[in-house]
Amino acid sequence: MVLGALAVLIVLGCGMIAGCGPGVPGAPVPSAGHGSASHGGTCSGSARLAAGVSVAAWRLGAIRFVSPRYGVALTAPDIPCLRSLGNMGTEVSPVAQPVRLAVTDDGGRHWVTRGSVLPITAGQAAGEQVAAVLGPDTWVVSGAAGELLATRDYGAIWAVQPLAAPVVAAASAGGWLWALSCPPASPTRCRPVVERMRLPDGTWVRTRLTAAPAAQDPWLAVLSGGAAAVGIATPHPALASTTDGGALWAVRPAPAGPGHMCGQDSPGSFTAAGLDDWWLLCTGGAAAGSSTKALMRSVDAGRTWTVAAAITSLAVPPRAGSLPYQDGAVIAAGTPRRLWIATPNTLSLSTDGGTRWTRAGSNPGGYFGQFDVLSGTVAWMLAPGAGLWQTTDGISWHVIGGK
């Protein structure tokens, strides 16, 4: 479903998505409870991971569900290893593990590895994505290597797709696979390029995204087979969108938001509940792990925006129903009224389109996460290194896929 592809992409706080940890490797962090970083492995050598073996959800780096029961994942290139510091808590540092496909047929409770090892090395988790799944065919983004890889046999053999390099994001909907590349345009910026192909055997065609300025860390959101949006971080952040398969793109400035917090370095975290219902979660100043925020909403595909909710000052105590204060937040939509926000420690829910928020769950490990939304009631949140959470009613979330 479109929302699933979208939510996987627009995730969480350290660059572009999966595999982010609780801080600098080797930094002490508090001991965590069930479903959290307490699942970390040993600190000696690379973690072993053969094909055809069970793998815990906390060792995954990206997920994509195609039904309430069946999903495909990539194991993370790095997993946290833990060393006790006694009364000081636990020291966390990364250890490499092989990257393989993993599949589940029970909604994410149990995962089994498949196929050969992907050509992904440690430290490349930031862009790891499962872009499309169609029977034995799977397409994945290989992280910092900047390649889109495809398999036609459940991961036994992988082939690099003929796309502009580096590929930074990919997602699918409506029988089409879209890929965003960003070749260098200067020492600090790149030029967004969007290509698409009809699944499973189409030819890659470059869209006419020619009016977009050079960017930093662009993102891609696929809304349907013919509609997509690209976020462009520049001195003046912009949103580019198309509804005709990329023949024409509209490039508009990102909304300014209260205090112009949406018009700073990044266009924010994006989600949509269809072709017209868009949200943009922008972050302003941060202090002591919290940040000012503005949730902007558009009901006309980005032409106009209103403020759904905002935190404009950290000096004022949080009010009931406010946006979560913690820094590093990402948003996902289930329906035009039901939204979720994940921070490194919490899951929050809105049932009125983003105006008021309540606590829906917690991630005690302090790890960033990513959403995969299958419907308005069925969704998952993966925090690589910590665990996997699920909702089946759109309201309550519970941890699944433990050891």
What structural domains does the chain harbor? Answer: 2-400 (2.120.10.30)
What are the tens digits of pLDDT across the range 211-227? 777 878 889 999 999 99
> Omega before 166 cis (within 30°)?
yes
Whether the CB-CB separation of 387 and 58 falls below 8 Å is answered with yes
Whether the CB-CB separation of 342 and 369 falls below 8 Å is answered with yes
pLDDT of residue 263 exceeding 70, the answer is no
pLDDT, residue 21, reads 29
pTM summary value: 0.86
Give Dmax over CA atoms of the chain in angstroms: 60
What are the tens digits of pLDDT across the range 371-400? 999 999 999 999 988 899 999 999 999 999
3-state SS assignment for residue 259: helix
What are the tens digits of pLDDT across the range 103-149? 999 999 999 999 999 876 544 445 789 999 999 999 999 876 789 99
For 52-83, what is the HEC assignment? CCEECHHHEEEEEECCCCCEEEEECCEEEEEE
State how far the Cα of 256 lies from the Cα of 270, in Å rounded to an integer. Answer: 15
Q: What is the mean pLDDT of residues 290-311?
A: 94
Place of tokens 């032409």: 303
pLDDT of residue 253 exceeding 60, the answer is yes
Phi-psi region of 360 (alpha: psi -120 to 50; beta: other; left: phi over 0): alpha
pLDDT, residue 143, reads 72
Give CA angle at 333 (134, 265), nearest 5°. 100
Place of tokens 């590929």: 167
Place of tokens 């949730």: 295
Whether the CB-CB separation of 258 and 283 falls below 8 Å is answered with no
State how far the Cα of 81 lies from the Cα of 96, in Å rounded to an integer. Answer: 10
pLDDT, residue 23, reads 28
Buried b or exposed e, range 264-292, using 16+ CB within 10 angstroms = bebbbbbbbbbeebbbbbbbbeeeeebbb
